[in-house]
Structure 1
Amino acid sequence: MSGSYKIIQSLARAFLIIDCFTEEVKELTLNEISEKVDLNINTTRGLVQTMLHYNYLSYDLQDKHYRLGSIFLEKVEIAQYDYTEKIIEMIRGDLQRIADQYFVSTRFHSVENLSITTLIERKPSRSRYMLSIHNQTDFPLTASASGKLILAHLSETHLNQVLSKVRWEKYGQGTITDPNILKKQLKDVTKNNVSIERDELGDGYASIAVPIFRDEQLVYTISVVSTTQLINDSYDALIQELRDIQETIHKLAEFQ
């Protein structure tokens, strides 16, 4: 394979410079870059100046350090949007099938920091009645299945900061109002890789959610919501359905 194409040396060197920056190494001086890529300082300077011009690198005049440039943020957004669209098309049919078979509402959410955004929702197509959640409703993370997934994957310090600002209101008979009890439940969420809420956002309603990771970060959740009775009646089957979709998405991530 190596003999079937020609490597452009200047491009290869530019990629090596990009690879110098990692989660642990976010900034470097020109000399440090030169040492890492094993190039003389003049060659390194020329490459770096070109990469600055095209926003692949940025430069801080005060501390004289280079960092990755703004173009990566733009490209990440494009790649993430494309990846999300692929997932939606891939799972749309399964979400509708689950909604019809179990008389539940199914949802696929994106997660960013402490925010949850619904990307697609499917409702039972043949049911006379259905349970629907308003898209603009801001549910407390402590009382929703997807919200607990977010909390369960925060660092202990960050979790304590978030919980210290919570208004511990009672929304239903199952609402947890003790942070210590919630923390114990969050450990189970992490251990079992599934989150459940019953009668926490309101009496008679329940939800199950599973996490979707990419590069070890929580980026999506898939959930079902219905009456507590319907969720309880199909509890094991619903969890398996969600885990099957979860596995399908994680397999897609391996090839991205």
Structure 2
Amino acid sequence: MAQNELSTLKRGLLVLELVKKKEGITLAGVMKELHLSKSTAFRFLTTLEEMKYIYKIQTQYFFNRKMFSEETGERSNKDRASLHSIYQVAQSLQMSTYLGKVDGTDLVMTQVIHSPFLNSADEEIGNRSKLHQSALGKVILAHLDERSLASILSKMSLERATKNTFQDSQLFRYHLKSIQEDSYAFDDEERIVGIRCVAVPVFRNKKVVAALAVAAPAEQINRSNIKQIATKLKWGSKAVTKEIETIESIH
């Protein structure tokens, strides 16, 4: 192998190692870290992406761990559930960020991120609560088809978590319709006193599959900033869907 080919291979491996280390890096970041020109960095990243060693979400590149069989077998369900786009939401809003899904009449946490928004709070993954007690659960219920919603509601008992939790089934139905119209849900200390939450649905193939939310002390989330928070969460929801589709498409 010619010397220039060895040099190219070495630089390509350095780019791959950098993407793996950073867990999300832009073209500009690669240029700066490895002192590469824009065209050279772009060529390496594009080649690695085409070979499925890395994948791109918006402007950031991520290491595709599933390409390496020795790592694939060892990865836990928690790792496989980890989505990079959720970190971007958390860092943008500077609030604890959650991803949850339905299991029976419960909401189950699948990803949780707290300040400084760099690592997943794995000890909270798998935590359960009743669907009607939080914005996450309510926004999923509000976007289910009528048959699925009726089936779940028939099995639910509206247990109170705080004095603000919904207990009137008829009023709760009207509340869900309002959430569907707004495309976001607001939890006004309904599960934990002193904590408010805003959530939006996450769709896959036009069906709601999860919910994305942020939570913070009541004074940080109020009527004046809810819509702004919901707008950023909706962007995040689309990014989550795109990331799921991207990951599925390369395997």
For the aligned pair, the TM-score class normalised by the smaller chain equals 0.5 to 0.7
2:156 to 157, 160, 166: 166
- Taking the aligned partners of 1:227 and 1:201, their CA distance within structure 2 comes to 13
Distance change (3 Å), C-alpha of 1:220 and 1:134:
same
Q: Which amino acid aligns with 2:116?
A: S
Q: Which amino acid aligns with 1:172?
A: T
Structure 1: which 4+ aligned runs deviate by more than 6 Å? none
8 Å Cα contact 2:83/2:240 also seen in 1: no
Query: Identity rate of aligned residues, in percent?
Result: 24
* Higher relative contact order, chain-length normalized (CA < 8 Å, sep 6+): 2
Q: CA RMSD in A?
A: 3.3
- Taking the aligned partners of 1:110 and 1:160, their CA distance within structure 2 comes to 17
- Taking the aligned partners of 1:92 and 1:111, their CA distance within structure 2 comes to 22
Partner residue of 1:201?
A: 191
1:186 matches 2:176: yes
- Taking the aligned partners of 2:161 and 2:81, their CA distance within structure 1 comes to 36
8 Å Cα contact 2:85/2:236 also seen in 1: no
8 Å Cα contact 1:197/1:208 also seen in 2: yes
- Taking the aligned partners of 2:205 and 2:160, their CA distance within structure 1 comes to 36
How many aligned positions are there?
Answer: 166
Distance change (3 Å), C-alpha of 1:105 and 1:254:
closer
TM-score by length of 1: 0.54
Deviation for aligned residue 1:241: 1.6
- Taking the aligned partners of 2:217 and 2:237, their CA distance within structure 1 comes to 23
Mapping for residues 35-184 of structure 1, pairs under 5 Å: 88-99=83-94, 104-111=95-102, 114=105, 116-125=107-116, 134-184=124-174
- Taking the aligned partners of 1:125 and 1:173, their CA distance within structure 2 comes to 31
8 Å Cα contact 1:111/1:218 also seen in 2: no
8 Å Cα contact 1:114/1:150 also seen in 2: no
Distance change (3 Å), C-alpha of 1:168 and 1:120:
closer
SS at match of 2:193: coil
Distance change (3 Å), C-alpha of 1:161 and 1:229:
same
8 Å Cα contact 1:223/1:242 also seen in 2: yes
Deviation for aligned residue 1:114: 5.0
8 Å Cα contact 1:208/1:223 also seen in 2: yes
SS at match of 1:120: strand
Partner residue of 2:66?
A: none
Q: Which runs of 5+ in 1 are unaligned?
A: 1-80, 127-132
Deviation for aligned residue 1:144: 1.0
1:240 matches 2:231: yes
Deviation for aligned residue 1:85: 5.4
Deviation for aligned residue 1:181: 0.6
8 Å Cα contact 2:89/2:233 also seen in 1: no
Distance change (3 Å), C-alpha of 1:134 and 1:248:
closer
Deviation for aligned residue 1:182: 0.6
1:223 matches 2:213: yes
- Taking the aligned partners of 2:125 and 2:82, their CA distance within structure 1 comes to 20
8 Å Cα contact 1:173/1:202 also seen in 2: no
- Taking the aligned partners of 1:165 and 1:150, their CA distance within structure 2 comes to 16
Q: Which amino acid aligns with 1:181?
A: L
Q: Which runs of 5+ in 2 are unaligned?
A: 1-75, 118-122
- Taking the aligned partners of 2:162 and 2:145, their CA distance within structure 1 comes to 28
